[in-house]
């Protein structure tokens, strides 16, 4: 009789586990989604932070970063939405918004680098024009002054004075 009593308890326990498993599964999946959402959020935060740093370097090189700031602000908006969704426990929306944030930044660093390089080139050309142009202009003024002086000196010598 003891064996039959054990079987009934075992059967009851198994049935309880079978019927309770659907209730416990979402909690386990929610933990997995929470970890995935946290990872996606951290990745999006890193992307936005590195994008801000890149824009800062481009701005220091005197690049026109206004178009980049629009894209960066959009990515930041999606990141803020992802953070709010994560805080409210909506992990699917967190992953969606984090993905949209990173999608806005696709090719962003390459664009920043090209604008930065263009600004550096433009600054170099401006510098060369100013320095070389000023040097050549100064040399022309000195040469013309010498020619005028020579011309006036000859003319004064022909007239018989001095």
Whether pLDDT at 18 is above 70:
no
Q: Which two tokens stand for residue 4?
A: 């039959």
Determine contact, residues 97/82, Cβ cutoff 8 Å.
yes
Class of residue 16 by CB neighbours under 10 A (exposed 0-12, middle 13-18, buried 19+): exposed
> Rounded to an integer, what distance in angstroms lies between the CA atom of residue 35 and that of residue 57?
33
d(CA 149, CA 162): 14
pTM higher than 0.85: no
Per residue in 53-101, pLDDT (tens digit) is 999 988 888 888 888 889 999 999 999 999 999 999 999 999 999 999 9
Angle at 53 between CA 93 and CA 127, to 5 degrees: 145
Exposed e or buried b for every residue in 95-111, given b needs 16+ CB within 10 A?
A: bbbbebbbebbeebeeb
Report pLDDT for 22.
Answer: 55
DSSP state, 113? H
Task: State the residue for tokens 């995935």.
Answer: 36
pLDDT in tens, 92-136: 999 999 999 999 999 998 999 888 888 888 888 888 888 888 889
Instruction: Please indicate whether residue 55 or residue 23 has the higher confidence score (pLDDT).
Output: 55
The domain segmentation of the chain, as residue ranges, is 2-112
- Give whole-number Cα distances, 87 to 78, 98, 111, in Å: 14, 13, 32
């Amino acid at each position: 009789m003891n064996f039959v009593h054990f079987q009934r308890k075992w059967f009851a326990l198994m049935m309880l586990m079978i019927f309770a498993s659907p209730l416990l599964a979402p909690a386990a999946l929610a933990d997995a989604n929470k970890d995935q959402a946290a990872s996606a959020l951290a990745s999006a935060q890193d992307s936005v932070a590195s994008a801000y740093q890149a824009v800062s370097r481009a701005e220091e090189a005197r690049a026109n970063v206004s178009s980049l700031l629009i894209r960066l602000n959009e990515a930041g908006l999606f990141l803020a939405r992802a953070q709010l969704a994560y805080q409210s426990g909506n992990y699917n929306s967190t992953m969606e918004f984090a993905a949209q944030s990173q999608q806005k930044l696709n090719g962003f660093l390459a664009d920043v680098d090209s604008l930065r390089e263009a600004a550096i080139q433009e600054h170099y050309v401006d510098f060369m024009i100013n320095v070389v142009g000023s040097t050549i202009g100064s040399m022309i003024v000195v040469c013309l002054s010498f020619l005028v002086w020579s011309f006036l000196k000859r003319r004064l010598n022909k007239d018989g004075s001095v």
